[in-house]
Structure 1
Amino acid sequence: MKTRVRNGVCAATALALFPVLTACGQDAQPQAGREAAPLHDTAPGAGSAGKSAPTPQSARTDAAPTAELPGLGPRTRAEVGPDTRQALVVTGRDRNSSDAEAVLYEKGAEGWKAGATWTAQNARRGWTDHHVQGDLRSPIGVYGLTDAGGLLADPGSKLPYDRDQGFTIDRTDDTGQSLRGSFDYVVAINYNRDAGRSPLDWGRPLGPKRGGGIWLHVEHTTPTQGCVALKREVMRELLRTLDPAKKPVVVMGPKADLAK
């Protein structure tokens, strides 16, 4: 058994306990005589071999910092903790769309400052404010970002990073697209999970029916089953930038819901 101690938290994993991951956002069914491993929402992703193409993104904004996070209504803003100084805002087109944009905001003395705008993908059927296992929708809300990991070596993550063969995925989705490399880099979204544990942890505080294994991970060419997928180089940049001292969160959902 491999044991990792990260920030005082022991993440013990046995490779034999983790069958090949299938789609994110759906929990694995226990195998006879084995402990279950989480299944994670998969977006189509580039393979791990070779270099990625440059990340398509908008020019970085020169706009002045703002007092409030743009595009968020009072209800959504109230869910962002007062100590949070990093917020990845993932804005979907509408409730039934799998297309989204992501912007990482940093809060300084003068307010919130936007970084680049990145393309993103969410779940195939869009979004929901009551996610359940297998609904093919991403959960709407504000969630902490505390734990990272992946199949590949740590690229310089400030979050605790669990490198593990349990992130291997070597299959196709139901459209025939390869999912290889999707979990080369991941950041766990704290929906129905215990913070301070590896993204591979099986714990589901709300129960298995409410789904789990919702991650930020490497994209491919089709929508996910619940996660948020980003370009490989964007994931590397996020891992190097998200800082536990800044209490990072992801704010995610369709535009109209985030404006409430």
Structure 2
Amino acid sequence: MSALSSLPEPRWGFIGAGKMASALIRGMIRAGSVSPSAILASDPSPEARNALAADGVTTSPSNAEVALGSDVLVLAVKPQAMTEALAGLDGGGAGKLVISVAAGVPLARLGAGIGTGARLVRVMPNTPALVGEGASAYCLGPGVTEADEALVLRLLRSVGIARRVPESLMDAATGLCGSGPAFVYAAIEALSDGGVLVGLPRELATQLAAQTVLGAARMVLATGEHPGALKDQVASPGGTTIAGLHALERGAFRAALIGAVQAAALRSAELGQEAPGHGPSRA
């Protein structure tokens, strides 16, 4: 473990400085849970490094330099880049808390590539973390301590909510919260299209559609009521809403969303089974 581990607050190292890493880093800074001076980040892209450097983060093109200088290591790379990223750590992950955000990459593969004594955690955040409204699932590997888990939650709760699951459910969580925002964006686009179809200007239709989805989601979280019960509260007998719900049922709307989550979860499982460095890999 780095000598820096004796400090009261750990130094966070991010391998990868893309959108998700930037969202997590800026979320922690915004929440006041870590200072920019305690964060290191590596990325081959000068543009990505410069963007974080402007926030006071120390950046480097070297994964090994960041790994060796940090206490907590966050692997924020695409699944297809994980093998190369692990090889570039030069042993810097050994004995440390290592958090991976790569879809489908199991703890066993991470452990084989990192080194002796690393305490491993898999997390699946999603893109709404960029605006502080993320939904993340995480699972813990052997040897992870309560203090380690507290650090994981510090990271994830700075950009939204986080729920712990067994590793066997990480692919399911990936299908739901990891890929789910894309399904919701498609629904918002379709609602906007519907508004345009019945005469609303596009900009207004999109704003109303997005706010309607946001408000409905907040109602589910704030009330704790089953979504079906909230739906029934809107659908009065013989009214406009039940007519619209009937149209959704004719179009197999619910079945399509269920199938989308299932397909994404299955693809996540496939990513975990593909040999490192082989085959197409996309989150």
Larger RCO, structures 1/2 (Cα 8 Å, 6+ apart)? 1
Q: Do the two structures share a fold, i.e. TM-score over 0.5?
A: no
* TM-score under structure 1 length normalisation: 0.23
Highest CA radius of gyration, 1 or 2? 2
- Structure having the higher strand fraction is 1
